[in-house]
Structure 1
Amino acid sequence: MQRDIAAREEMDSPDADPLLLERTYAQFPLVNRCVSGWRGMYLRLVRPALPRHRTATILDIGCGGGDIALALLRWAQADGYGVRVTGIDPDARAHGFASRAGAAAGFGPAELEFRRAVSSDLVAEGRLYDVVVSNHVLHHLDPPALAGIFADSRLLARSLAIHSDIRRRRSALLLFGTATLPLAGSSYIRRDGLTSIRRSFTREELARVLPPGWHAHAAGLYRNLAIWHGENPAGR
């Protein structure tokens, strides 16, 4: 199955139906809990990279509705870390939903910030974070934007950068399509999810586009990880 780079996700359109889009953001936490594997990545990779001697900082690039940023914040706080999480997304609709979700969860600006921004904005500001992550962002990007997010991540991350994305397989289309049938018509989850699978990379394809110093890992059957380890473990 060839990568379908011409396919477009409906929720990315400026004309996306506002109600369907709102429902899509609201359904992301359930879908990501089932398919994204961030709890395991937090335990194996993110947590060991967080410093104990000061407030740890995490950046979520392309944060969408903010559920991954919120989950990372909750897990780190439960493990006793002082932590501040920043989520960025250039889409005003995603930023609005994430900001409302963060406020509803009771987190203040000292713990959680959502910004309408792209990674190059933060590079220009000279920002640094202990850990930089993204979830299901890479397959959206054209080659210049893909190179940009990897370059920006190295400049923004002190210790670790992880970009997690879908791994393209025929069986993923069948399984995801079947599992999300109950959501069909209620949001963009099913239609855009199938488009995302068709746009996504195999592990070998991802490895070919990674710059030096990055490594492509197949996490299970249906996820790819692009990982960069900095020279400053645990923020020291």
Structure 2
Amino acid sequence: MYDWPNFATRARISEWMDASHIPDECLRAALQDLRLTNRLLGGYAATHAALDPLFRRRDELTMLDLGCGSGDYLIDLVRRGTQFGCTVRAIGIDANPATVGHARAHLDAELSPPFRSRTRAEIGDALALRYDANAVDVTHAALFLHHLHGPDVPALLREMNRVSRTGLVINDLHRHPLAWAGFWAFSRLLRLAPMVQHDGPISVRRGFRRRELEEVARDATLAAPTVRWHWAFRWTLSTLPTQN
């Protein structure tokens, strides 16, 4: 008999994406399909909900995107800002050199020179950023927090808060059986990359409940954090002000 997963607590199960070495073709296919899932399952929309009010009020913003993957959020952020008359300059940080290489290639392929000049991807440790305090306006991390456990979770929030002048945005998964079963079926119906089929349901099990995010925000001593739910089974945790 199949054992139904336990959703009461965060799972401590490794994802293939966490490996120190990933065959390049496997990584390329997974990053491509993650862009698709972000588009179809509300990933970009959740970040938009948190950032659009700020884009409307500001003429320009500097941003750090942690765990940047293929750079898809960098592309989305600079384009989204332009829709509101806001010039966004965005830097992506990822610990995996191969992933950063894919991000740079994706930025080159997708962005025109004016947009490309406002983005870059760097190798770095999100828990020990090589940036001074208040170095950028906003720090952002999508589908990255669930890769961390224990004290590293509030440590990431503290580091994001340290380098941001205006606030931070976390975009991550709601740990819920419907999200787990739904993504299991979605990834197989669309014949997504094997890594995405394997890691996606695990990512959901490593995701968060509202109370857990609120507790982590308190542990990180964040000022006035807001946790909101978004379709499909996404959370945003934000410290962005409601007005300037």
Report TM bin, short chain.
0.7 to 0.9
Determine what percentage of the aligned residue pairs are the same residue.
23
Partner of 2:35: 29
Give the structure 2 partner of residue 19 of structure 1. 25
1:87 aligned residue? 92
Aligned residue for 1:222? 233
Q: Cα offset for 1:13?
A: 0.9
Distance 1:144 1:59 in 2: 22
Contact 2:33/2:193 (CA < 8 Å) preserved in 1?
no
AA of the residue aligned to 2:66 = I
Pairs aligned (count): 231
1: CA distance, partners of 2:238 / 2:47: 11
Question: Is 1:118 aligned to residue 118 of structure 2?
Answer: no
The CA distance in 2 between the partners of 1:75 and 1:23, in whole Å, is 25
Alpha-carbon distance change, 121 to 69 in structure 1, aligned in 2, over 3 angstroms: same
TM-score calculated relative to the size of structure 2: 0.84
Runs of 4+ with deviation above 3 angstroms: 50-53, 106-110, 119-127, 182-187
SS at structure 2 position matched to 1:143: coil
Counterparts of 1:113 and 1:146, CA distance in 2? 25
Residues 1:152 and 2:152 aligned together: no
Shift of 1:201: 1.2
Aligned twin of 1:167: 174
Question: How do 1:36-55 residues align onto structure 2 when only pairs under 5 Å count?
Answer: 36-39=42-45, 41-42=47-48, 44-50=49-55, 52-53=58-59, 55=60
Task: For 2:204, give the aligned amino acid.
Answer: I
Q: How does 1:202-217 map to 2 (within 5 A)?
A: 202-211=209-218, 212=221, 213=223, 214-217=225-228
Distance in structure 1 (CA, Å) of the matches to 2:42 and 2:143: 9
Q: Which residue of 2 aligns with 1:131?
A: 138
2:68 corresponds to 1:63: yes
Q: Is the 8 A contact 2:169 2:238 kept in 1?
A: yes
> Does 2:109 match 1:100?
no
Which whole-Å deviations, capped at 9, do the CAs of 1:136-195 have from their partners, x for residues lacking one?
111110222212211112112222311010001111111111111045573311110011
- Structure 2 match to 1:197: 204
Q: What letter corresponds to residue 230 of structure 2 in structure 1?
A: A
Contact in 1 for aligned 2:137/2:167 (Cα 8 Å): yes
1:1-53 per-residue CA deviation (whole Å, 9 max, x = no partner) reads 233432110121124332111100111211101123423542x4313224644
1:112-154 deviation digits (Å, cap 9, x = unpaired): 0111112354454445222211111111102222122111121
Gaps of 5+ in 2: 1-6
TM-score normalised by length of structure 1: 0.87
In terms of mean alpha carbon deviation, does 18-27 or 161-170 score higher?
Answer: 18-27
Distance 1:120 1:15 in 2: 20
CA distance in 1, matches of 2:121, 2:112: 11
**SS of match in other structure, 1:188:** helix
